[in-house]
């Protein structure tokens, strides 16, 4: 950092809007597929765990261990399989969503009161009708609570992918920020990460309220 | 796949461990000492704060704010935020250990505060009432009733914090803080992938080891009577939904 240079240089921001937008785009192009794939994979694992209860413990143990592995290490350990590519980034990000999502989907579905299930059975619902029309809607607030945590976590983790050359907002923080002693770029990167997380979180909370208007008072945000 | 073999070969060469300037032992020591100091500071700040807010019930809005900030700022963001400030204040001393330890402490505080708070609020009010009825002072109620009952949730917060700190200490290399991350970050730059993969294996083991160590501490410290009363699902939910420990109107 040069003597007397201000912390935030607005002229740099104005001159580099295109580059900043490009990094933001790269960031989103990792977050969105990772969360979507993670959600589908978690749903499958959660259904498996509910059908065969014995698999729940091992699924949580394995996903929990993966969750403890530092992101930089996990990205690097996938390099031997998939190289320094976007696929490496997405696989690692998907793995990180599994613990949170599987657990919330299972806990949400398990939380459906037995007499509600009984009532659905009494009304002659088949098990798939019961799942889609009764159990899943009741579990939705807990599932979306998990989705919010997973999405916000993923947005933060994508910032690490710059270390394996994938760009994203981490590029602004590390490559053009910390490494060049240039605070403006750091703060722009961090601020955009935070904004992205807040927007994603608020949008999902809104989605949850729209999908389950009856649950408004029972599950906090 | 052969990269794994190269990583293991790098790890199994004793010369790589003992190099006094850039050896694995030195980096491991940097990693552990940095993490330990940051965790100690995070507990020293976060625990009293969470206990106080949880006990009095005042300032729960602050806890939710801390939880949300903690979640929204990316781990590498803390390093980025702190680094220019220490650099301006301390000059060259603003590189290395100091910005790293400040960033890791800030990163470690939110899980401890939110879990301590959530644990304290979940204590059955009847128990607190019973404590008071037995003539306990407010301090005694906190020490003998609230903390022991809330302990599993509090310790889960410390564990989450510890794992995050150890994980993020890897990134401290970028501000000159050394640690095992140094092999990874420098190694990628010069395409020395044997070091990169070897160090990543060590970092992964260190983080998993931290998780196991703190799970063991939880097992040892939590009173058996309280442990028996908890279902695993409740324990999981408490760690996973720390942003919603208190529904509004609580």
Within 8 A of B77 by CB-CB distance, chain A residues are 156, 159, 173, 189-190, 193-194
Check: CB of residue A68 under 8 Å from CB of residue B211: yes
- Does B17 reside within a domain? no
pLDDT band, residue A1 (cuts 50/70/90):
low
Question: What's the pLDDT at B236?
Answer: 42
pLDDT of B7 over the 60 cut: yes
Question: What's the pLDDT at B228?
Answer: 63
DSSP state, B20?
T
Q: Which domain holds residue B59?
A: 2-7+25-240
Question: What's the pLDDT at B233?
Answer: 38
pLDDT of B19 over the 80 cut: yes
The answer, for B4 touching chain A at a CB cutoff of 8 Å, is yes
- Does B227 reside within a domain? yes
The nearest CA of chain B is from the CA of A90 a distance in Å of: 17
The domain spanning residue B129 has which CATH number?
Answer: 1.10.3720.10
pLDDT in tens, B240-249: 443 333 332 3
Instruction: For chain B, give the mean pLDDT.
Output: 88
pLDDT in tens, A149-183: 999 999 999 999 999 999 999 999 999 999 999 99
Within 8 A of A194 by CB-CB distance, chain B residues are 72-73, 77
pLDDT of B32 over the 50 cut: yes
Domain count, chain B: 1
| Two structure tokens written together for A59 | 């699924």
The answer, for B65 touching chain A at a CB cutoff of 8 Å, is no
CA distance A205 to A137: 15
CATH of domain A10-215: 1.10.3720.10
In chain B, pLDDT over 70 holds for what percent of residues? 91
Q: How many residues make up chain B in this entry? A: 250
| Record: contact B84-A186, CB cut-off 8 A | yes
Question: What's the pLDDT at A37?
Answer: 98
- Does B100 reside within a domain? yes
Give the closest of B170, B185, B204 to A77, CB-based. B204
Query: What are the distances in angstroms from CA B41 to CA A137, B35, B203, B215?
Result: 43, 10, 22, 20
Question: What's the pLDDT at B1?
Answer: 72
- Does B15 reside within a domain? no
pLDDT in tens, B103-144: 999 999 999 999 999 999 989 999 999 999 999 998 899 999
The answer, for B114 touching chain A at a CB cutoff of 8 Å, is no
Scan residues 100-159 of A and list those with Cβ closer than 8 Å to B: 100, 103-104, 107, 110, 145-146, 149, 152-153, 155-157, 159
pLDDT of A210 over the 50 cut: yes
When scoring B5, B31, B61, B72 by the number of chain A Cβ atoms within 10 A, the one with the most, hence best to mutate, is B72
CA A173 to chain centre: 20
pLDDT in tens, B194-243: 999 999 999 999 999 999 999 999 999 988 877 765 544 344 444 444 33
Residue range A14-42: mean pLDDT, rounded: 97
Residue range A195-215: mean pLDDT, rounded: 92
pLDDT in tens, A80-129: 899 889 999 999 999 999 999 999 999 999 999 999 999 999 999 999 99
- Does B108 reside within a domain? yes
């Amino acid at each position: 950092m040069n003597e007397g240079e201000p912390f935030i240089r607005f002229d740099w921001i104005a001159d580099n809007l295109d580059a900043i937008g490009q990094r933001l785009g790269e960031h989103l192009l990792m977050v969105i597929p990772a969360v979507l794939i993670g959600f589908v994979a978690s749903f499958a694992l959660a259904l498996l765990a509910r059908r065969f209860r014995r698999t729940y413990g091992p699924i949580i143990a394995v996903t929990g261990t993966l969750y403890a592995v530092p992101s930089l290490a996990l990205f690097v350990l996938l390099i031997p399989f998939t190289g320094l590519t976007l696929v490496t980034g997405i696989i690692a990000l998907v793995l990180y969503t599994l613990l949170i999502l599987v657990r919330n989907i299972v806990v949400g579905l398990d939380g459906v009161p037995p007499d509600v299930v009984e009532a659905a059975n009494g009304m002659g619902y088949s098990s798939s009708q019961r799942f889609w029309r009764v159990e899943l809607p009741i579990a939705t607030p807990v599932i979306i609570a998990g989705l919010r945590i997973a999405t916000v976590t993923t947005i933060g983790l994508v910032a690490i992918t710059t270390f394996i050359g994938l760009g994203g907002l981490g590029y602004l923080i590390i490559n053009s920020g910390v490494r060049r002693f240039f605070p403006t770029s750091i703060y722009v990167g961090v601020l955009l990460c935070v904004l992205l997380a807040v927007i994603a979180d608020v949008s999902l909370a809104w989605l949850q309220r729209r999908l389950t208007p009856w649950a408004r008072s029972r599950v906090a945000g | 796949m052969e990269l794994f073999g190269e990583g293991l070969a790098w790890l199994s060469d004793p010369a790589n461990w003992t190099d006094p300037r850039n050896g694995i032992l030195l980096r491991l020591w940097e990693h552990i000492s940095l993490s330990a100091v940051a965790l100690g500071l995070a507990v020293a700040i976060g625990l009293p704060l969470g206990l106080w807010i949880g006990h009095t019930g005042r300032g729960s809005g602050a806890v939710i704010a801390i939880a949300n900030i903690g979640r929204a700022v990316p781990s590498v963001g803390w390093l980025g935020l702190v680094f220019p400030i220490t650099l301006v204040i301390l000059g060259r001393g603003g590189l290395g250990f100091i910005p790293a330890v400040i960033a890791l402490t800030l990163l470690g505080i939110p899980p401890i505060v939110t879990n301590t708070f959530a644990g304290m609020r979940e204590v059955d009010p009847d128990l607190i009432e019973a404590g008071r009825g037995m003539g306990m002072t407010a301090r005694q109620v906190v020490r003998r009733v609230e903390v022991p009952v809330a302990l599993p949730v509090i310790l889960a917060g410390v564990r989450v914090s510890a794992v995050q700190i150890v994980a993020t200490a890897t990134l401290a290399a970028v501000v000159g803080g050394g640690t095992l991350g140094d092999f990874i970050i420098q190694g990628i730059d010069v395409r020395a992938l044997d070091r990169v993969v070897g160090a990543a294996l060590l970092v992964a083991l260190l983080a998993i080891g931290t998780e196991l160590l703190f799970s063991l501490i939880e097992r040892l410290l939590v009173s058996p009577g309280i442990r028996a009363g908890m279902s695993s699902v409740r324990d999981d939910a408490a760690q996973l939904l720390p942003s919603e420990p208190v529904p509004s109107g609580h």
